[in-house]
Structure 1
């Protein structure tokens, strides 16, 4: 009886997966969750689709979401993708030897395994096509400045150290903004890859920085989302794929009432799919339900200022994992000019978990000499 139920469940899931693939086929863009059908498939498969049944792979525990794919003569295939588990948790730190490549040409009944060593498979630096930015937004209203400024500064510097790479990389940038009661998101430090510059700006914050003791929380959410959207648009103009994180800290609720709560939450819900949202709350006056909706990717709360640094660290690790779960995987295909379109499947194994995704590439002009 149990086996029968399991078989029925698998058939239902398979039917849903087919619908999911058809939906992807008519969608466009490189966002990793352009299609959201709440199927518990992490962030979706992006430009990919489920692998053919002929491979006989186990059910996926990991989701490979293809962001972009391209070929380079004489025969290199490049796939840029994000890896997460089926709960959407990012999977950073994968290496080339954890991947298996399968190709299927027009004369192949199913896929053939391609040796990762013979195909010179590698995880390459993704900075050439990918940039990630963090928009850090700090509540510097009177309640923070008067009671927890030093703790906030220490926590923020720790956050910067954890998120920004030890060696400066132009593909990793952060900007810091702050808000109080004014109808303005104040710039503390513009978008930069310089960790020392960011730290210096935080060190320079004084308790007289604000002229309005109120809290325009909803305005800050709306303005920060607009900034993140603009950053992504700019990255596209520079022929790179962008991902961004908005990280907002507050110790209270919206007091200015310039903007409606629903407008702020809708802004987060409708934001570009490649923007992640994190929120950090401090103290007893915060509205945890609202902050959880604002921080739809992840939210954390500190009950007192002594917990603030650990709370910022919790979020910083999640932001870092998100950024480092994107991979540029490249290999030299044995397919040659004249073979036309070929199917490609990539499988990854991480411990006892595995996942795979299928796509295709055109081998026009391919020949030997790739390395």
Structure 2
């Protein structure tokens, strides 16, 4: 009987463990205070507000960073984890048409300054190999600048996305001054500030390669601290250096004892940079508030084990410009064009992105498309209802595209026309001897190929 009871306990425990692994609810904080460790995802999140703005017809958009308590990027959150409150009332994300865009769907750039310690006595060759490793792992939205630092900071190459040019610049660095003036170099290199706009986002990071302690003391180590709130600093060291000081001046520190360790540490530093880039979230939702200002907004994350104020993002917004839109599906809705467009022109060999908007449904919008002739154009719907149309045909070709919001049962048909002229150009034509207004022009035998002048 005891054996049977013991076996039942084992089975129940196994079921509990299995269920906890499959659950979407994060576990409690680990011995790393919720920051995660190794393969364990963090459960304590810090929300940093970059921008809160509104978009017509009635969207509130928030640009924010989500990090762990140590400032490392949290890059795995989906829209269902974000909790939105207006005026103290929790919104249903589906009803509010909430969506999240990540940096690959934005006009985004992350700029990284590599600082290489080249004072007399450094193992410069290994430090340079580590720096080249970062360059070789460069992301398509990343630009890198190269600096050397000994008794003074010196720029070797300004921001570039050219891997060959950056690698050559790194390998061109020779031995510099006798001592390391590391902290002063970091302060001097910090000349850029992050820029957060819906049209474009730019963020900045440092990677420092060193095997020396600061030997000059022009700037004290604790002066670097405030910079970490503005710029993310990652340090990679070789050999016997004061690791605690390097760890204190940055978000993450990676030590190495030999060449293999240096290459691994450099790879980890680049991974953390991209994780930080991927921890930028653009959250948008449709507000029901109208004709007012100073509306309170609070964003939190479900399952966050951080109990401090940093776990919340709070702001206010103005709903005065918001308008209601008739039920239906719209392409490039605007205040001046409340019906949207029925034709989208795409220049030969290029792409064009339009915004889809579905109004009146009670479910989260999910858009699909069907193109009548894929030899003329194709389309791809991304997050937030952004539809990218790619021209496949030649000048003058056209095709029909049917756009559907399947969960809400609405569709719209538009025409895709391929053109050879530059979109946005102002064209002028003069038509003499034409009467009857627009109808007379369209029915004239000379239209559209034979204007009087253009």
TM over 0.5, yes or no? yes
Equivalent residues of 1:64, 1:82 under 8 A apart: yes
**Count of aligned pairs between the two proteins:** 285
Partner of 2:99: 121
Provide the secondary structure at the position in 1 that maps to 2:227. coil
* Structure having the higher Rg: 2
2:271 counterpart of 1:328: no
Structure 2 matches for 1:55-94, cutoff 5 A?
61-94=44-77
Q: CA deviation at 1:279?
A: 2.0
Partner of 1:226: 188
- 2-side partners of 1:61 and 1:253: how far apart? 33
Q: 2:243 aligns with which of 288, 293, 311?
A: 288
- 1-side partners of 2:164 and 2:304: how far apart? 37
**Cα gap change, 1:345 to 1:324, in 2 (>3 Å):** same
Residue-by-residue CA offset, 1:235-285 (whole Å, 9 max, x unaligned): 489996654322211122345x3x43xx2414312437312222222113x
Consecutive unaligned residues in structure 1, runs of 5 or more: 1-39, 43-59, 105-109
2:158 counterpart of 1:205: no
Partner of 2:265: 311
Q: 1:135 aligns with which of 113, 116, 134?
A: 113
Equivalent residues of 1:101, 1:116 under 8 A apart: no
Equivalent residues of 2:127, 2:210 under 8 A apart: no
Q: CA deviation at 1:136?
A: 1.0
Q: 1:191 aligns with which of 150, 159, 168?
A: 159
Equivalent residues of 1:83, 1:90 under 8 A apart: yes
2:300 counterpart of 1:361: no
- 2-side partners of 1:225 and 1:252: how far apart? 17
Q: 1:214 aligns with which of 175, 178, 181?
A: 178
Residue-by-residue CA offset, 1:191-233 (whole Å, 9 max, x unaligned): 234444323433x436xx23x4523x22x432332322x2117
Provide the secondary structure at the position in 2 that maps to 1:313. helix
Partner of 1:157: 132
- 2-side partners of 1:191 and 1:201: how far apart? 11
Residue-by-residue CA offset, 1:61-89 (whole Å, 9 max, x unaligned): 32222121111222221111111234543
**Cα gap change, 1:346 to 1:266, in 2 (>3 Å):** closer
Q: CA deviation at 1:309?
A: 0.7
Equivalent residues of 1:82, 1:326 under 8 A apart: yes
Q: CA deviation at 1:117?
A: 6.0
2:294 counterpart of 1:341: yes
Provide the secondary structure at the position in 2 that maps to 1:252. coil
Equivalent residues of 2:115, 2:209 under 8 A apart: yes
Consecutive unaligned residues in structure 2, runs of 5 or more: 1-32, 36-42, 326-332, 334-356, 358-454
**Cα gap change, 1:140 to 1:225, in 2 (>3 Å):** same
Residue-by-residue CA offset, 1:79-120 (whole Å, 9 max, x unaligned): 11111234543201333343343333xxxxx41423336525
Equivalent residues of 1:119, 1:333 under 8 A apart: no
Provide the secondary structure at the position in 2 that maps to 1:159. helix
User: Which has a greater percent of helix?
Assistant: 1
Equivalent residues of 2:103, 2:280 under 8 A apart: no
- 2-side partners of 1:357 and 1:222: how far apart? 34
Equivalent residues of 2:211, 2:237 under 8 A apart: yes
- 2-side partners of 1:254 and 1:272: how far apart? 18
- 2-side partners of 1:197 and 1:287: how far apart? 32
Equivalent residues of 1:90, 1:321 under 8 A apart: yes
Equivalent residues of 1:102, 1:114 under 8 A apart: no
Provide the secondary structure at the position in 2 that maps to 1:143. coil
**Cα gap change, 1:239 to 1:118, in 2 (>3 Å):** closer
Equivalent residues of 2:228, 2:250 under 8 A apart: no
**Cα gap change, 1:74 to 1:124, in 2 (>3 Å):** farther
Provide the secondary structure at the position in 2 that maps to 1:277. strand
**Cα gap change, 1:290 to 1:315, in 2 (>3 Å):** same
Partner of 2:20: none
Q: CA deviation at 1:185?
A: 1.6
Cα RMSD, aligned residues only: 3.6
Query: What's the TM-score, normalizing by structure 1?
Result: 0.65
